[in-house]
Structure formats: structure tokens, C-alpha cells
Amino acid sequence: MAHLIRHKLSNKLTNAAHTVSNKSQAKVSGVFARLGFQAATDEEGVGFAECDDLDYDYRHGMQMDVLQGEEEGGQLEGEGELDGDSHYQRDGTGRGPSSLKTGGSLDEDKPQITTWEAGWNVTNAIQGMFVLGLPYAILHGGYLGLFLIIFAAVVCCYTGKILIACLYEDNEDGIKVRVRDSYVDIANACCAPRFPALGGHVVNVAQIIELVMTCILYVVVSGNLMVNSFPGFPISQKAWSVLATVALLPCAFLKNLKAVSKFSLLCTVAHFIINILVIAYCLSRARDWAWDKVKFYIDVKKFPISIGIIVFSYTSQIFLPSLEGNMQKPSEFHCMMEWTHIAACVLKGLFALVAYLTWADATKEVITDNLPSTIRAVVNLFLVSKALLSYPLPFFAAVEVLEKSFFQDGGRAIFPDCYGPNGQLKSWGLGLRIGLVVFTLLMAVFVPHFALLMGLTGSLTGAGLCFLLPSLFHLKLQWRNLLWHHVFFDVAIFVIGGICAISGFIHSVEGLIEAYRYNIHD
């Protein structure tokens, strides 16, 4: 005991001697030193594939690292014991508290991922099949549309970084420690102490809307692709959507995503083949490219819809906290975000420009519909397969958020648990899942407009989750550490994002009303 007391007093004296110099160095080094992350701890699973764990942590807010005794005190490597705030902060270098599971055991065996694996997850999120709507954005935006593809990549990369910065706070020694685990934790921290759960509810609602709308878009694009692949068949787009939904009904029985995660590679291969075929066909018609059709003017009425389409194609912020927490080297998160978004920007810009130059004013909402009938059928079948294989991921994520919020919220849920004592899904719980599948079908049948729905979703939730909330949370939580140009960037992103979101939402709704009123199919 005497040895422990002497050791603790020695550490306190050492920490006190270096506190001023450490804080001064942090001030001089600027924001980059302040954002230097420590090694990650065992966090939630990665992306949608582990969304059940992610949403469990969402429901339970911040995970506090309460020290049980002096022997269990969290220590920084080479820095000694932490005092004061260390009793509620989770050190970024030591082994933090793992996510507490339903059974009460700690999940300490989750493997961490490399920087390349993290980059692969982000790439899959921002390079999905929704890039097929980008040439349609160029149709209504011209060169400004290309600029927005670049601008959105820069802004989404920046907001992803500042969102992760909001997970960390300085301890009394000026060292960054991770005190939050998820987007919802950040939102709750911003609304505390008056409304400690309000921010989390807002983020969860936005997340559910985006996930459900993504499912609807998969059904819409499946029906659209099939009716354009086989125009001679006496089957309408609505009927094809119904058939696609029948194939998706088994999703209601999913207990986890292990059964479908193995199909993710097939989705990536299919998407790669699709892009190669489209670009190869466009290059074969390079002599006929309509450069004169790419203008600097914009369609004032339809261009805001294009903004939503572009923003929606970059959405990945929802799972970035989980991703960064699972990285072996979180200090490489910034570098990973930069090269993934640079690659996405280049590929999206080239794909959108080449496709638009090939078909010019005849460019359709889904660019593969412009292909000749022989190639179109093959490409569209690949696309339909990818859409059907991709549907379970956002569907299961939406189900998990709804179940944790309304049925399993630590005894505070509105409705009784939809699972039995042995983990068996109750019949009415299965009915709710089937009802969600049917809801996506009904929306796809009554609103079968891919580009308009994509623009609406991007304007409503994409801009909020990618532009508005990260910049607002960064200003709120990191205000004392921000330099003037970071404040300027955050305010500018919030203002521009708000204008784009409002205008895009209004024009998307007007476009849907017009399409519904005049029975416009394209």
C-alpha cells in the first residue's frame, strides 16, 4: 500500500510539472495536433454488417469508464495514472470498456481492422450503384454539376473528420481521450443537459428515414431496370417491383447479417462489371461525344434535385464513428478519408461526364436505360442482382434501430420485447418486419421515380447527416479548440448545406407532385 501511495504521488507531481507545457504545445501545434487520435479500443461492429451492435450502443448512450479501484485505474502508456476526468473518460491508448451485450457479458474479442479494410468499407458506401444517377445530375447542372461532385467530396471528407473529432475530449494533461462511441452520443452531448436525449432521437429519425428510403430505391430501381430490359414482356414496372419484393420477403426472417455478408463481394464484382461495360460502350462512341451540350447554365427548377442526388451518393457519416473505433491505427483515419474521397470524386466525375457526353439530352434517370437493348439486358440483370443483394443491409439496420428504440430500450421501450426468452422472434415481431418490406413495396409502386426519390432523400437526410449536423456539433463541442478558419468553414458548410437541403427538398417534392399529376414515368 505504501508503495502504491508513493507511486501515485510521484505520478501526480510529474503530471503537474508537465501539464502547462503539454497544454501550451497543444495550443501552438494547432488543430492537427488536437486531432491526433490514440489507438482504438474494441468498439461496435463495422458499418451495416454489425449494425445490431452499433444501434445497441446508440440506445445506451455514452459508455462510461468507471474505475473500480486504484489497481484498476486506467493508465496511459508512459504517462502514469490519469486523474480527475479519467474516472469518466475512456483512454484512447488503453483497453477501453467494451460494448455490453444483452446477456451482460463484455464483448472483448472483436477483431480490429486495418486502414485498408476501413477504406474498403467507406469506398463501398460512397461508390455504390447510386452513381448511376449522376449523369442525370450533369444533365441539369452541366459543368456546375461536375463542380458539385468535387465540392461534395471535399465537404463530406471534412465533415467526416470533424465528426470523429467530436468523439474526443482533452483530459487534464491535454491528451485526447475517446469519450463517445457513436453519432447519437455526439448528438446527445450537444443537447445536454437540458435535453440529453433529443439529439439522439433526431439522428435516429434521420437514420431510419435514410435507411428505409434506400430500401425503397432498391425496389424502384429493380422494377425500372427489369421493365427496360424486357420491354416486350406484358409486365409493368409496378408488377416487376412486386416480383422483386416477393424475392426480398425472406429478409424478414434475418436474425443477423452473417447469412448475407458473404454476398457483399458478389455485389462489388457485379458493380465493377457494370461500370466497365458502361464506360467501354461510352468510349466506343467517343467520336460522337456532344461536348457542346455541356453548358455552364443550370436548370433552376431541376438542379436542386441534382444536388440531392450528388450528396446522397457520398453519405457515409452514420457509421464512421464505429469504423474509426474499430481501426487498428485511428491516427490514419484522416489519410484514409482523403484517399477514398479523392478516388470517389475522380471516378464519379469521369463516369458522369463520359456517360452524359455519350447521350447528352437523352440521358435518363438510370444511365443503363440508355444502352442498346442487347447490352442493356445483361447490364440491368447484373444491376438487379446487386440491388436485391444489397437490400438486406439497410433493411436489417432499419429493423435494428426500430427494435432497439421501441421494443428493447433497456426496459424503457414503448412496446413489449418482440423476442422470446430464448431469442425466438415472436409472430407479431415477424409481422412488423414483413410490414416494413410491404411498406417499401407500396412506396416503390406509388412513387416509381428513382432520381426524384434519390434527390429527396439526399436533400432531407443526406444533407443533414453529412453537412448540417457535423458542422453544428463541431462548433458546439470543440468551440474552445477551434481556429478562426475552422469556425468559418463550419459556419459556411452549415449555411450552404441548409440552403441546398431546403431548395432540394422543395423542388424534389414539386417534381414528385408534377410527375404524379401528369403521370410522368421518366
> What are the φ/ψ torsions at residue 362 (nearest 5 degrees)?
-90, 5
Q: How far is CA 367 from CA 235, 266, 417, in A?
A: 21, 21, 44
Q: Is 113 helix (H, G, I), strand (E, B) or coil?
A: strand
pLDDT of residue 299: 76
Q: What percent of the chain has pLDDT over 90?
A: 23
Delimit the domains of the chain by residue range: 115-518
Cβ-proximal residues to 448 (8 Å cutoff; 6+ apart), any chain: 220, 223, 224, 237, 238, 241, 521
Mean pLDDT, rounded, for 78-84: 37
Q: Is 240 helix (H, G, I), strand (E, B) or coil?
A: helix
Identify the CA nearest to 220 among candidates 480, 444, 519, 503. 444
- For the cut 70, the answer to whether the pLDDT of residue 58 exceeds it is no
pLDDT of residue 332: 93
Class of domain 115-518: mainly alpha
pLDDT of residue 481: 87
For the chain, the average pLDDT equals: 76
Instruction: Give the Cα separation of 326 and 328 in Å (integer).
Output: 7
Contact status, residue 97 vs residue 312, Cβ threshold 8 Å: no
pLDDT of residue 316: 86
**What does the pLDDT look like over 177-225, one tens digit per residue?**
999 988 989 999 998 888 888 888 889 888 889 889 889 988 998 998 8
Mean pLDDT, rounded, for 323-345: 92
pLDDT of residue 10: 54
* Cell (9 digits) for 227: 421493365
pLDDT of residue 355: 92
pLDDT of residue 66: 35
Count CB neighbours of 13 within 10 A.
11
Mean pLDDT, rounded, for 6-32: 46
- For the cut 90, the answer to whether the pLDDT of residue 162 exceeds it is yes
Residue type, 147: F
**What does the pLDDT look like over 414-452, one tens digit per residue?**
666 777 677 677 777 788 888 899 999 998 888 888 778
pLDDT of residue 472: 94
Least confident of 289-298, 360-369, 391-400, 402-411: 402-411
Residue type, 166: C
- pLDDT category of residue 17 using cuts at 50, 70 and 90: very low
